[in-house]
Structure 1
Amino acid sequence: MELWTPNQTLKNGRFIVQKVLGGGGFGVTYSVLEQRTNKLFAIKTLNPIQQSQGNFNDKQEQFVNEALRLRGCQHPHIVKVYEVIQEAGLWGMVMEYVNGDDLGVYVDQHGHLLEDDALRYINQVGQALESVHQQGFLHRDIKPNNIILRSGTQEAVLIDFGLAREFLIGKTLSMTNSRTEGYAPVEQYERQGHFGTYTDVYGLAATLYSLLTGRTPIPANYRKDGDIPLKAPKQFNSSISDRVNDAIVQGMALEPQDRPQTMREWLELLIQNKADSAVVQISISNSQSKVRHLNLLADQTQLITSKMDYTQLSNLLAAGKWKEADKETSRAILAIAWREKEGWRYLERVDNIPCEDIRIINNLWVKYSNSRFGFSVQKKIFQSVGGNTKTYWKGQKQYQEIWLLFCNHIGWKKDDDSQKIMGIAFYICDINFDLKAPIGHLPCSWIIELQRLRESGVYGGGFGWEQEIPSLLLHKNL
Structure 2
Amino acid sequence: MSWTPGYHLQSRPYIIESVLGSGGFGITYKVRHLEHNQYFVIKTPLDHLKHDPNYAEYLRRFQKEGEKLKRLCKAPHRHIVQVIDFFTEDENPCLVMEYIPGENLYQLVKQQGALTQTQAVKVICQIGDALIFMHQAELVHRDATPLNIMMRNPEEAVLIDFGIAKGINPKTSTQTDIAGNRSFAPYEQVGRGSREKTVDVYSLAASLYYAVTGECATASLDRKMFNEELVPPSQLNPSISDRLNQAILKGMALEPEDRPSSVREWLSLLGTSTKTNQNKEVDQKSTLPLSVVGTSQLKNRRIAGFAVVMLLVVGVPIGISLLPQNPPTEDTSISNLRGTAAKTLEPPPAESLNADYSQLENLLKDGKWKEADSETLDVMLEVAKRESEGWLNSESIDNFSCADLKKIDQLWVKYSNKFFGFSVQHRIWLSFKIKTDKKLGERLGWKDKKKGNWLEYHSMTFNLSAPVGHLPLGGNDFMMVMRFDSWESLFSRVQTCNL
**TM-score, length-scaled by structure 1:** 0.53
Q: Residues 139 and 164 of structure 1 are in contact (CA less than 8 Å); yes or no, is this contact kept in structure 2?
A: no
1:185 match: 186
Distance 1:192 1:145, change over 3 A: closer
Cα deviation, residue 158, structure 1:
0.4
SS in 2 for 1:240: coil
Distance 1:252 1:20, change over 3 A: same
Q: Residues 43 and 96 of structure 2 are in contact (CA less than 8 Å); yes or no, is this contact kept in structure 1?
A: yes
Q: Is 1:148 the equivalent of 2:150?
A: yes
Q: Structure 1 CA distance, aligned partners of 2:78 and 2:38?
A: 19
Q: Is 1:88 the equivalent of 2:90?
A: yes
2:267 match: 267
The one-letter code of the counterpart of 1:189 is V
Deviations 1:48-98 (A, max 9, x none): 343332222221221111111012333111111111122222111011111
2:132 match: 130
Distance 1:109 1:51, change over 3 A: farther
Deviations 1:22-61 (A, max 9, x none): 2212111111001100011100001234333222222122
The one-letter code of the counterpart of 2:223 is R
1:158 match: 159
Unmatched runs of 5 consecutive residues or more in structure 1: 167-175, 273-366, 381-478
Q: Structure 2 CA distance, aligned partners of 1:262 and 1:29?
A: 30
Distance 1:258 1:164, change over 3 A: farther
SS in 1 for 2:6: coil
The one-letter code of the counterpart of 1:222 is D
Q: Size of the alignment, in residue pairs?
A: 272
Deviations 1:346-384 (A, max 9, x none): xxxxxxxxxxxxxxxxxxxxx7xx63469975999xxxx
Q: Structure 1 CA distance, aligned partners of 2:260 and 2:228?
A: 21
Q: Structure 2 CA distance, aligned partners of 1:48 and 1:374?
A: 35
2:18 match: 19
Q: Residues 182 and 190 of structure 2 are in contact (CA less than 8 Å); yes or no, is this contact kept in structure 1?
A: no
Cα deviation, residue 118, structure 1:
0.7
Note the 1:28-427 alignment, pairs <5 A: 28-74=27-73, 75-150=77-152, 152=153, 154-163=155-164, 179=178, 180-191=181-192, 195-272=195-272, 371-372=275-276, 377=281
Q: Structure 2 CA distance, aligned partners of 1:234 and 1:164?
A: 35
Q: Structure 2 CA distance, aligned partners of 1:242 and 1:133?
A: 29
Q: Structure 2 CA distance, aligned partners of 1:20 and 1:124?
A: 28
Distance 1:244 1:5, change over 3 A: same
Q: Structure 1 CA distance, aligned partners of 2:130 and 2:252?
A: 19
Distance 1:35 1:25, change over 3 A: same
SS in 2 for 1:217: coil
Q: Residues 250 and 258 of structure 1 are in contact (CA less than 8 Å); yes or no, is this contact kept in structure 2?
A: yes
The one-letter code of the counterpart of 2:14 is F
Q: Structure 2 CA distance, aligned partners of 1:142 and 1:105?
A: 15
Deviations 1:174-202 (A, max 9, x none): xx977321111121133375x42211000
SS in 1 for 2:102: coil
For CA contacts below 8 A with separation 6 or more, give which structure has more relative contact order.
Answer: 2
Moved more, 135-144 or 50-59: 50-59
The one-letter code of the counterpart of 1:5 is T
SS in 1 for 2:72: coil
Q: Structure 1 CA distance, aligned partners of 2:125 and 2:231?
A: 23
Deviations 1:396-454 (A, max 9, x none): xxxxxxxxxxxxxxxxxxxxxxxxxxxxxxxxxxxxxxxxxxxxxxxxxxxxxxxxxxx
Q: Structure 2 CA distance, aligned partners of 1:374 and 1:60?
A: 29
Q: Residues 26 and 43 of structure 2 are in contact (CA less than 8 Å); yes or no, is this contact kept in structure 1?
A: yes
**TM-score, length-scaled by structure 2:** 0.51
Q: Residues 138 and 165 of structure 1 are in contact (CA less than 8 Å); yes or no, is this contact kept in structure 2?
A: no
The one-letter code of the counterpart of 1:107 is V
Unmatched runs of 5 consecutive residues or more in structure 2: 168-172, 285-499
Cα deviation, residue 226, structure 1:
0.5
SS in 1 for 2:100: coil
Q: Structure 1 CA distance, aligned partners of 2:127 and 2:280?
A: 17
